[in-house]
Amino acid sequence: MALLIPTSGTTGNSKLVRISYKNLYENTRSISSSLSVESTDRAITTMPMSYSYGLSIINTHLFNGASILVTNRSVIEKEFWSFFHKSKPTTFGGVPYIYTMLKRLKFSEMKLDSLKYITQAGGKLDLSLVEYFKDACKKNRTKFYVMYGQTEATARMSILSHNEVDNKKGSIGKPIPGGRFVLKNECGEELKGESEGELFYYGDNVSMGYAKTYSDFTLGDFNKGVLKTGDIARRDSDGYYYILGRKKRFVKIYGVRVGLDELESLINNKGFMCVCSGIDDNLKIYTTDSASIDKIHDLISNNRLVHSAGYSIKLIDSIPRSESGKVMYSEL
């Protein structure tokens, strides 16, 4: 065991992920190859080192003799951009929340000549944001990579290349070198061809398992290279994968199956910031904008998305987020 990284996902149940030296080496090597990281690259930090994605960016650059530009400033602070222009980074990464902030800052109008490429992971990016950053990066001659990962896989598992973002919009791409995706049905049977099912990942970067108490530190490799991601995904005819939502983030509203992640994304894509939670026959939509409430009601009604008696819209002061920017649904 080389590393313990805390993870609670969106459930709030704290635990540690046990990562081996082999996990770190294999994931670092695969990502380095996928992104063609060079010794001349300069990565600026945008996420905490305790977050697997943030640590992965550091590891991949140090592995290749590249530079790390360390700052504790957020992208919404002027000091971050002052440091950016002074140090001239060639790359950075971010979770969806960071990209939401970058759009509000009018990223497409920024003059960032040193930037070669940017990466996104840590959650599904709304299609409107994918479109925005695809166009912004094309305008500024910067490459935009969409990736998919989990702490339980050390960091990242797949990549959608910059030249595929337009044709495969919304996709997480294909597995990184040395990795493999498999879709399974509810009976645990592997699905072939175009299909939809629970996503499993196979690779040497899959962690050893969890530790909930100190006595778990001595446990061996529980996962043995196989990760049950907990995500429902679709594979298209070209072998590209699309995340549909968390397996536990589906509810039934008067007998109709509703994906909370899918509904949340659809509403956000229409310009109404919200998050969705709930249980069967009691879906809750949370927003911080009172002016959006009636518009969200109209959107749902006009498109017959959810039975009118099966959901409610709640106004909240702020959306609870983890340090890495992920929504903490357990605190809603």
CB atoms near residue 50 (< 10 Å) = 11
Confidence of residue 257 (pLDDT cuts 50, 70, 90): confident
Identify the pLDDT of residue 9. 53
Q: For the chain, where do the domains classified as CATH 3.40.50.12780 start and end?
A: 3-178
Q: Token pair for residue 262?
A: 């899918």
Query: Rounded to an integer, what distance in angstroms lies between the CA atom of residue 208 and that of residue 187?
Result: 25
Q: Token pair for residue 38?
A: 């060079």
101 exposure class (CB count in 10 Å sphere: 0-12, 13-18, 19+)? middle
Is the pLDDT assigned to residue 175 strictly greater than 70? Answer: yes
Identify the pLDDT of residue 121. 95
Q: Are 181 and 241 in contact (CB under 8 A)?
A: yes
Identify the pLDDT of residue 8. 60
3-178 classified as CATH 3.40.50.12780: yes
Query: Rounded to an integer, what distance in angstroms lies between the CA atom of residue 155 and that of residue 148?
Result: 8
Q: Decide the pairing of beta strands 174-175 and 3-7.
A: unpaired
Q: What is the pTM of this model?
A: 0.82
Confidence of residue 13 (pLDDT cuts 50, 70, 90): low
**176-184 contacts: CB < 8 A, separation 24 or more?**
176/27, 176/30, 176/31, 176/33, 176/34, 176/203, 177/30, 177/33, 177/34, 178/26, 178/29, 178/30, 178/203, 178/204, 178/205, 179/30, 179/203, 179/205, 181/157, 181/233, 181/235, 181/241, 183/233, 183/235
The average pLDDT across 234-256 equals 89
Q: Token pair for residue 14?
A: 């704290």
Determine which of 66-70, 78-82, 96-100, 206-210 has the lowest per-residue pLDDT on average. 96-100
Q: Which fold has domain 250-331?
A: GMP Synthetase; Chain A, domain 3 (3.30.300)
Q: Are 7 and 230 in contact (CB under 8 A)?
A: no
Confidence of residue 77 (pLDDT cuts 50, 70, 90): very high
Is the pLDDT assigned to residue 11 strictly greater than 80? Answer: no
Confidence of residue 10 (pLDDT cuts 50, 70, 90): very low
The average pLDDT across 233-260 equals 89
Q: For the chain, where do the domains classified as CATH 3.30.300.30 start and end?
A: 250-331
Query: Rounded to an integer, what distance in angstroms lies between the CA atom of residue 332 and that of residue 320?
Result: 7
Confidence of residue 15 (pLDDT cuts 50, 70, 90): confident
Q: pLDDT tens digits for 134-150?
A: 999 999 999 999 999 99
